[in-house]
Structure 1
Amino acid sequence: MLEKLTTEKRNDNTMNLDVMSIHEILETMNREDQTVPQAIAMEIHSIEKAVHYVIQSFQEGGRLIYIGAGTSGRLGVLDAVECKPTFGSPPEMVQGFIAGGVKAFTEAVEGAEDDEEQGGKDLASITLSNKDTVIGIAASGRTPYVIGALKYASEIGAKTVSVSCNKGAEISKYASVFIEVETGPEILTGSTRLKAGTAQKLILNMISTASMIGIGKVYKNLMVDVQSTNLKLVERSKRIIMQSTEVDYEIASEYFEKANHNVKAAIVMILLQCSYEEALVSLKKANGFIRKAL
């Protein structure tokens, strides 16, 4: 069935890839990559549905779980890992699973993606519940490991989403919301870490970022729930306070300390001229949204 997948077809624009100059190869890759956002634009409605699912899960105390194999699995794990420092989310809130386990993140584990049963077992290992949203990722749209995960998630009553790069993808049959971004033939036939991988990375960024905005982790366009775990992030936190309130560096630093390094609380303290305790109460009443707290 592989020959029917657009991700596996040969690209007419790169039949002479092996005799192109380096400059021509790079220009061709760049030109092909520019088609990816256009393909994603056709699926915004489905991506929006997925975001609503994730926001609902977060509001109910549920989680976002990415699951995939190979490049798709690695992209899911990457997006999950980056949510904690970016949005101050607890590590269990967004999780990623890859066929073959942790080892597969840096080394190919042959045959792992063909184990349909393991997909369900991996989700069972974290006690998946009907409050969670599971997003299965597969460029081909036919990976057994992902299909098994989506089947299990559906049985549990979890919300299910699939992300693939072929129309009429097999995994779409097992998801309540399916995102099918047809990125077309790769410049290097079958290497779906290229355009397909780029599309998946962009989509996962969209889903996680829009979902975090939807639960109050952003004020204006600032990531106000950033965790100050290193010197760079401490300085970024102070700069965010300055940008949110138009105070100078010294005042931002003062309130950063007064708020116990809680950036959102510091912003509310400055704008409402209130105590740390009062800021926390205001934020709690506003479900974490700074605008509502103000």
Structure 2
Amino acid sequence: METERPSPRYCNIDLWEPAEILEAMIEGQFAAVAAVRAAHPAIESAGLAIERRLKRGGRLVYMGAGTSGRLAVQDGAELMPTFGWPEERLLLLMAGGKNALLQAVEGAEDQEAQAVELARRNAIGPADVAIAVAASGTTPFTVACLRAAKEAGALAIGVANNRDTPLLKEADHAIFLDTGPEAIAGSTRMKAGTAQRITLLLLSSLVMIALGRVYDGLMVDVQASNKKLVRRSERILSRLSGRCHEDVQEALCRAGGSVKLAFLLLQGYGCDEAQAALDRADGHLRRAMSLIGEFHEDALEGTQPSTSGSRARATHE
């Protein structure tokens, strides 16, 4: 496997000057970005497929082992505070469980039976999306987990740094990141890990934008779970509405902390009307505003006599 192969380029790295070592590792980070760029079409295709599947109300299921698993878990965990992704629609399957997030768990990545059991126990099904990450593309736990999810009907996304590996072959959408050998042979926490991190970031952000959780470049579904995020919600709403701090705070209070709902309230719409529009628009703020606008135009037209009717009466008279 390319990610395990020692490279002649770095064979004497321990003899280099510190500046040369750093330069070589920085060079590797640029190579990681280039690998992600080359995978652009695959990432886009996977993102659009994920968005379509999640409209069914299913879950995002991240799965992996070791460094790759930790990167997957990190990306998933960040969706809740950043985009307001519901906790009940997120599942993080890590070989070795929570203990493996902080330390290596002996033999965890080889546990195929555990992977299958986790998929079964968590009732992964056709509405769900499974995102499996493994630099090698051969990790038994991760491959078995993705296979079990796919067999249960879930959409299977595979991310790996070696071509034509089992993980990519199992996937409905395969994302191959061609990062090659590492400066420290086999240490896939380096450029392979960087490429995985960027890919997961791009993939999940694209999906959240497509699902309407970003408006005007702002995270309008942010969960204000601490003082910093409360202030962020207020700044977002101030920027969108142009209203004073007191008005913004009052609207957020009435809206239960929802930036989207508070914004519509500041436009003069009623709470029930605004929430109904957001529900009909599947949470897309632009669509909700358009729906409310159309409703008010229809209501206004309904209160005025039609021009054609007036003309008909005039002709009749």
TM-score scaled by length of structure 1:
0.94
- Could you tell me which of 160, 164, 170 is aligned with 1:168? 164
Q: CA deviation at 1:128?
A: 0.7
Q: Letter of the 2:59 partner, please give it.
A: R
Residue 39 in structure 1 maps to residue 35 in structure 2: yes
Q: Letter of the 2:100 partner, please give it.
A: A
Q: Letter of the 2:269 partner, please give it.
A: C
Contact 1:62 1:132 in 2 (8 A): yes
- Could you tell me which of 125, 131, 139 is aligned with 1:129? 125
Distance in 2 between the 1:146 and 1:210 partners? 24
Residue 145 in structure 1 maps to residue 141 in structure 2: yes
Contact 1:57 1:64 in 2 (8 A): no
Contact 1:51 1:211 in 2 (8 A): yes
- Could you tell me which of 248, 251, 260 is aligned with 2:247? 251
Superposed counterparts of 1:89-100, under 5 Å = 89-100=85-96
- Could you tell me which of 279, 284, 292 is aligned with 2:279? 284
Aligned equivalent of 2:218: 222
Distance in 2 between the 1:104 and 1:201 partners? 18
Q: Which runs of 4+ in 1 moved over 3 A?
A: none
SS in 1 for 2:62: strand
Q: Letter of the 2:101 partner, please give it.
A: F
Q: CA deviation at 1:116?
A: 1.7
Q: Letter of the 1:68 partner, please give it.
A: G
Per-residue CA deviations over 1:16-64 (Å, capped at 9, x if unaligned) read 2112222222222112101111111111111122212321232101111
Distance in 1 between the 2:147 and 2:229 partners? 40
Contact 2:65 2:141 in 1 (8 A): yes
Report % sequence identity: 39
Distance in 2 between the 1:209 and 1:87 partners? 9
Aligned equivalent of 1:17: 13
- Could you tell me which of 231, 255, 262 is aligned with 2:258? 262
Q: How many residues align?
A: 289
Residue 111 in structure 1 maps to residue 137 in structure 2: no
What is the RMSD computed on CA atoms of the aligned residues?
Answer: 1.4
**Greater Rg, structure 1 or structure 2?**
2
Residue 190 in structure 1 maps to residue 186 in structure 2: yes
SS in 2 for 1:92: helix
Larger deviation: 21-30 or 194-203?
21-30
TM-score scaled by length of structure 2:
0.87
SS in 2 for 1:213: helix
Distance in 2 between the 1:20 and 1:252 partners? 57
Distance in 2 between the 1:293 and 1:158 partners? 30
Distance in 2 between the 1:246 and 1:184 partners? 50
SS in 2 for 1:66: strand
